[in-house]
Amino acid sequence: MKKLWIPGAIVALIILLAVLAPVLGLPDPVRQDIANRLAGPMDGSPLGRDEFGRDVLSRLIWGARTSLSVAFASAIIAGIIGTAFGLIGGWFRGLGEILTVRSMDIILCFPPVLLALLVVTLMGPGAGTLILVLSVLYLPGFARVTYAEVLSARSLDYVEAVRALGAPTGRILLRTVLPNVAGPVLVQLSLAVASAVVLESGLSFLGLGVVPPAPSWGLMIRGARATMEQAPMLLLWPCVALTLTILAMNLLCDGLRDAVDPRTPATRKRFRVVDRLLPGLLPASAPRTDAVLDVRDLTVEIATPRGAIRPVQGVSLAVHAGETLAVVGESGSGKSVTATTVMGLMPPIARPVEGHAWFGGRDLLSLKEPELRALRGGPMAMVFQDPMSSLNPVHTVGAQVVEAIQAHQKVSSSEAWAQAEALFKRVGIADPAKRLRVYPHEMSGGMRQRVMIAMAIANRPKLLICDEPTTALDVTVQAQILDLLNELKRETGMGMIFITHSLGVVSEIADRVAVMYAGQVVEQGSVAEVFSHPLHPYTRALLAAVPEGDEPPQGIPGIVPPPHAFPVGCRFAPRCKFATAACTEAPLPLEEIRADRQVRCIRWHELTSTEAAA
């Protein structure tokens, strides 16, 4: 905060003088007194008189009024419109991006002075014309800065997490994205104001801005230039005013940028004010089986420059109330793509091209975005891997839980905060009333994940999808989180899908397991059966890779093939020590060997029989 005091005081003093100019009892800034032309400091004129005998101090202060009015007005207009353009272009892309951000390139093609000349010619000089010219000139800067920030923010986990809560687009942009682009936009605003002061002076100096005899710093420099040999001080005063204003503005904005970042502990209090203000902007909120979620033959296609790929193909899995289904496999096996497709969180280039995902009697894959939004964060919720990046760093954790509650329940703010406190207590956060008021960076990883779980269960979901929620945590905290999820599942009766690459985690939390490899389910069944009698060579290899006792784990040779290079037949064949020519001839079906037990391997029976005989 110390960084703000000196530049803040200077800027405040300049603005105050400019605002109070009419009541300071200054001489008329345009009244000429030829008899005292170029006079030095004298009674009533401490800075002397200019080439027309006008009081220099009065013109300096009235000039500040003109310069700052033009600069602030143009920067604020450009800031509001440009930020809105950047938000729209960065979030919606496509036509929205072309109309809002790409169209700004046309403005950038014009040299600023040429553009000013064009507008002045059309509209005539004056402060209004200057504001218009400068607003247009600064518009692309704001649009581009915001656009770039939104592009990076939209892929952050906490933005995905808010989407998963079912928040409408307007709320996501206002509450989640905008606060995170506020820092760069504020810096841009400061640069625009400082630059506008200089440009206003430059254009007025050229006769394209403020019309004489009205006072402005640019006109003062222009007038002083002609008499600089007789009265050099006339040039000094407006130059000092310009330099001091720009320097103070830049320092102030550097300080402000740090001050608006709540990750700076000293400034987090000011964001609590924003947290209290913004909620007012936000609005409140043919089954085939008895499963909570029944995914059938899901195939997802993604358009890439190398052509369409199918990272998930023919995936079928189901989870029932009070049950946990673990989805396990190496990176690239399609676990997360399956989960995010079910939640409707995949980017537009990815789309489900086959299959169904039945939830509450409706096929999630055929629902429109508003219908999915109403479900996400309500009846179905998701917990992501990294709680630090899944939580918005510029809001308190309590505000984020309250937002999750109010997105689906029409409750008052005080009721939502009371619910949030109860949720914190339920997920084992000590001193919940106090912890609601802290920011994500003030909590440990385990506590942050508890907050994410509190948000996910805030609206009593029937289905909870956990995408590797313990991967970023140490072993002790991981065990605590698994215990908590198990307790919550028992209490609420929700169905849970738990995505992981760890078989140890599967054994602790799951009732059933689906093993995925290269976009397909290769084996599925109860955890006890799959672990004790694995049928697929890949499942066996995964189990053999788990360290046990003194025996060294056995790695699986090779890597999961990328989607554009999936083999035609068995996708595990290049890594399978049991592969034969028959394995690679044609795509393999998922064979149902009995109720709730499936495997995708043509040699499973032969291999297990040989093993039993041995």
78, 116, 312, 601: which one contacts ligand SF4 (CB under 6 A)?
Answer: 601
Instruction: Based on the shown chain and the rule CB under 6 A, indicate whether residue 542 belongs to the binding site for ligand SF4.
Output: no
| Residue 561 engages ligand SF4 in binding (rule: CB under 6 A) | no
Q: Does 436 participate in binding ligand SF4 (rule CB under 6 A)?
A: no
- Measured CA to CA, the distance from residue 506 to residue 510 in angstroms comes to 5
Identify which of residues 156 and 602 has a Cβ nearer to ligand SF4 in the complex.
Answer: 602
- What is the Cα–Cα distance from 495 to 52, expressed in whole angstroms? 85
C-alpha distances in angstroms, 380 versus 365, 400, 462? 14, 18, 6
Q: Give the amino acid at 358.
A: W
Tokens read off for 226: 């002609």
> Least distance from C-beta 580 to ligand SF4, angstroms?
6
Between the alpha carbon of residue 302 and those of residues 128, 335, 365, 609, the distances in Å are: 51, 15, 15, 40
DSSP states of 275-338: HHHGGGGS------SS-SEEEEEEEEEEEETTEEEEEEEEEEEEE-TT-EEEEE--TTSSHHHH
Give me the 237-276 binding string for ligand SF4, x by CB under 6 A, dash otherwise. ----------------------------------------
Handedness of CA 598, 604, 609, 614 (dihedral sign): negative
At closest approach, how far in Å is the CB of 601 from ligand SF4? 3
Asked if 78 touches ligand SF4 (CB under 6 A), the answer is no
Closest distance between ligand SF4 and the C-beta of residue 520, in Å?
A: 11
Q: Does 583 bind ligand SF4 (CB under 6 A)?
A: yes
* Distance of alpha carbon 237 from alpha carbon 95, whole angstroms: 50
Contact (CB, 8 A) for 127 and 71: no
Query: Using the rule CB under 6 A, is 194 a contact of ligand SF4?
Result: no
534: its two tokens: 């694995």
By CB under 6 A, tell whether 519 contacts ligand SF4. no
Residues counted in the chain? 614
Q: Does 570 bind ligand SF4 (CB under 6 A)?
A: yes
Closest distance between ligand SF4 and the C-beta of residue 537, in Å?
4
- Closest by CA position to 38, among listed 192, 179, 241, 229: 229
Under the criterion CB under 6 A, does residue 438 sit at the interface with ligand SF4?
no
Kindly tell me which of 52 and 578 has the beta carbon lying closer to ligand SF4: 578
Judged by CB under 6 A, which of 199, 452, 456, 576 binds ligand SF4? 576
Q: How many residues of this chain bind ligand SF4 (CB under 6 A)?
A: 12
Among 52, 578, 587, 597, binds ligand SF4 (CB under 6 A): 578
Residue 530 lies near ligand SF4 (rule: CB under 6 A): no
Asked if residue 219 binds ligand SF4 (CB under 6 A), the reply is: no
Residue indicated by tokens 């014309």: 129
User: Please, what is the minimum distance in Å from the beta carbon of residue 611 to ligand SF4?
Assistant: 13
Nearest to 96 by CA among 105, 85, 108: 85
From candidates 579, 590, 597, 608, binder to ligand SF4 by CB under 6 A: 579
Which of 398, 537, 561, 563 is in the footprint of ligand SF4 by CB under 6 A? 537
- Please report which helix (H) or strand (E) contains residue 196, including its range: helix 178-205
Nearer to ligand SF4, 309 or 576 (CB): 576
Which residues would be at the binding site for ligand SF4 (CB under 6 A)? 536-537, 570, 572-573, 576, 578-579, 583, 601-603
